[in-house]
Amino acid sequence: MAILTFTSSRTTGRRYAAINCEQHAIEHFAKAIATPGGATPFDDGIDPSTASSWTVREIDLHKAKEFVLNLWRNECLLLQSYLGDLQKIQYPSLKEQLVAYVHNLRLIQQRAPLQQVRAFISSINDNHMGEMKFDASFSELEVRSRIVLLLQFIRRVMRFYKGACLTCDGMETEYVGIVAPNASERDIASDKTELWFCKTCVSYYRVARYENVLATLRQRWGRCGEHSKIMWVLATALGYTCRIVLDYTDHVWVEILIGGKWIHADPSEAVLDELLMYERGWGKKFTFLFGITESTVVDVTDRYTETKEDVIVRRQMSEADLQHVLTEVNTELQQ
């Protein structure tokens, strides 16, 4: 069960709702909706006199699937977690989530033709793209050194977004939640948008999470998802064989095939071949870790953990059941 907080516009009867959101986020949402000409996409306001006009009840998200999705499609829904609250309604099973992720990767690749990607790299790297290209005649050490250059290039070009206001660049900001992308954001392939409040500007602003590598490169900032998809696309354009690693405890990085072995590369940290940095250094408690290409999904958890038995307990899924799911996923992807 989830906590649904909802209200209706007094003028139009249009419904607005928040799922699993804290009180301060709901109050922000109400004010953002009612802000004329503000950064939100809503076309009518509610009485923002705070949450006394909002009704709270428990809701079974799966039974109320169409109601919730209609709220989202009509840009009337606030979420604290897109993955936890909405994506799992759309793709309730692990199989569906993984198949959808692969289809999304295919779309990302289609939106980034290799020729355009190479031209962009060259234009912002002083025409030194050749220093990062894969060369099969090189030794493994030389290939690794080129990948390090690529990691450093992404780190230099892409700022890791930590919540700074997009107007004043100030850090006195507050995360409100996730809202649906508006029309202009959807045009650039955003599937979700973060709503933020700047205490300095005293205004709301939107941070679209684009699934378009060229748009993200022009924007010059992102988080691990954007950084890793950029690395995946750029590495592919430069001749490497690359795959995304999806960590279900909220991180993404890549692996690159060197000398017949998959090598860890994290563009958010500009780190190469540090497999245990997450568990030892970050204290991560892994559940699922998948290596994903445009056509395959494999379990790569063993490479990144020293406590596999604990991982299996947290998964609440046996190894046999997981392998069965992956077989079904890969069969469907080959069709």
What string of H, E and C letters represents the secondary structure of 11-23? Answer: CCCCEEEEECCCH
pLDDT at 59: 87
Cα–Cα distance, 207 to 144 (Å, whole number): 34
Taking residues 155-178, what's their average pLDDT?
92
Cα–Cα distance, 90 to 302 (Å, whole number): 29
pLDDT above 90 covers a percentage of the chain that reads 59
Residues with a known catalytic role:
224, 251, 266
Cα–Cα distance, 60 to 50 (Å, whole number): 25
Nearest-CA neighbor of 265 among 158, 157, 156, 146?
Answer: 146
Cα–Cα distance, 96 to 101 (Å, whole number): 9
| Mean pLDDT score of the chain | 88
Of 10-14, 255-259, 284-288, 317-321, minimum mean pLDDT range: 10-14
Taking residues 73-87, what's their average pLDDT?
81
Of 5-14, 44-53, 60-69, 162-171, minimum mean pLDDT range: 44-53
Taking residues 323-329, what's their average pLDDT?
97
Task: Enter the pTM of the model.
Answer: 0.88
- Does the structure show a pLDDT above 60 at 117? yes
